[in-house]
Structure 1
Amino acid sequence: MPIPNTAEDGTLELLDRRRSTPARQLGAPAPDHPTLLRILRSAVRVPDHGKRVPFRFLRIEGGARHVLGEAVATIGLRLRPGAAPAAVDKDRQRFAHAPLVLAVIAVLDPEDTIPETERLMTAGCVCFAVLQAAQALGYGGSWLTGWPAFDPDVMALLGLGPDERIAGFIHLGTPRIDVPERERPDPAALLRDWTPA
């Protein structure tokens, strides 16, 4: 029997209020250790074909954010030697704004019988669930990638194995602004019925 779920219980309202807070607008405090574990307890309840748990987490906070930013700027300059100073500074500051950055790592074992795409989608669901749980507890968040998420030198710096990928960098903190609503797609315009030929 389905579990009743009404708008009055706040669940749908929470989903409807979800929005990203720009990383530059996330300040202290960040979720402390017990609160982060509470967020992750909700976030790991994602669809997971075969119960493989194809994800793990890296917490990047404090001075580690700046060390990572310096390393990313150096790697970026090696990739694009003629990069403008503003672009290099953007890379240097990439992890400096929000007080906590959570890297969600997708674990993609090529020997597994579960398709890699399904495992990557599970890790993506975790990213979204982290944002939802953080917002439910009064924090803001932003799911970012950018070139560092796909760069092998950055992945090696973060200790990823050969069969791991970065699903997202989730920037978390306390919103400094009320993020305005933006236009959302109309689900009715996206829905079609399939009919057999």
Structure 2
Amino acid sequence: MTFNDLSSPLSALATRRSGKPRDLVAPGPDADQLARIVAIAARTPDHGKLAPWRFVTVGADRRDAFAALLARAYIAQKPDAGRLETEANDQFARQAPALVVQMSSPQPDSHIPLWEQELSAGAAGMNLLHAAHAMGFAGGWLTTWAAYSDVVRDAFGAAPERIAGFFFIGTPGRALDERPRPDMARVRTDWTPPR
């Protein structure tokens, strides 16, 4: 189901909006669609052809295990956590029909600067959201405390990898909000050579 004008690449780019993961409902992408979304995400600028990122899908049958992982990691980090905090983590693990965890996987021994590898990971995440949108879905890119937890990271990889984000994908359960966009006069200027 298409919720925006996707009749041209430019209108698809101009209409992409993030969906709040808690508002994303079925249908989500099926296995073939999700594989295609990830393959498109991998077509990103990548100096040195390192692919300094990777994608881990968390299937519906693995959401209970993911929720348990978040619970263990959060309690280890904050032993006095209250009921509302633990419920919020459980809801986080179970929102939206599809979940892709993107890892930033830098290669420290490469001559390619780490910063460029990290920029490539960010670009891959954005491509993932654009691909989901182009296929008629919405996506939300979240981090939260879990992206910075070594316990959670270690369940998906190992240092020097880091979690770039949790990408939730599904169909908007309500109209997507348009957020304020930057003032173009503030974020775009013409260069003037120094004197």
**2:128 partner amino acid:** V
Give the drift of 1:144: 0.6
Q: Is 1:43–1:126's contact at 8 Å kept on the other side of the alignment?
A: yes
Compute the RMSD of aligned alpha carbons. Answer: 1.6
Q: 1:34 matched to which residue of 2?
A: 32
**2:30 partner amino acid:** D
User: C-alpha distance in 2, partners of 1:152/1:181?
Assistant: 34
**2:172 partner amino acid:** P
Q: Is 1:73–1:89's contact at 8 Å kept on the other side of the alignment?
A: no
Unaligned runs of 5+ in 1: 1-7
Corresponding pairs, count: 189
Structure-2-length-normalised TM-score: 0.91
**1:49 partner amino acid:** H
User: C-alpha distance in 2, partners of 1:192/1:139?
Assistant: 34
2:167 paired with 1:170: yes
Give the drift of 1:163: 2.1
Q: 2:96 matched to which residue of 1?
A: 98
Give the drift of 1:134: 0.5
User: C-alpha distance in 1, partners of 2:149/2:115?
Assistant: 19
Deviation above 6 Å: which 4+ runs of structure 1? none
**2:18 partner amino acid:** S
Deviations 1:120-156 (CA, angstroms, capped at 9, x unpaired): 1111111111111111111111001111111111111
Unaligned runs of 5+ in 2: 1-5
Q: Per the alignment, do residues 189 and 162 of structure 1 end up closer, same or farther by CA in structure 2, a change over 3 Å counting?
A: closer
Q: 1:155 matched to which residue of 2?
A: 153
Give the drift of 1:164: 1.2
**1:145 partner amino acid:** T
Q: Per the alignment, do residues 74 and 189 of structure 1 end up closer, same or farther by CA in structure 2, a change over 3 Å counting?
A: same
Q: Is 1:103–1:166's contact at 8 Å kept on the other side of the alignment?
A: yes
Match of 2:18 among 4, 12, 20: 20
Match of 2:122 among 121, 124, 134: 124
Q: 1:142 matched to which residue of 2?
A: 140
Matches within 5 A, 1:56-135: 56-135=54-133
User: C-alpha distance in 2, partners of 1:77/1:103?
Assistant: 21
User: C-alpha distance in 1, partners of 2:154/2:128?
Assistant: 24
Structure-1-length-normalised TM-score: 0.90
Q: 2:3 matched to which residue of 1?
A: none
Q: Is 2:73–2:149's contact at 8 Å kept on the other side of the alignment?
A: no
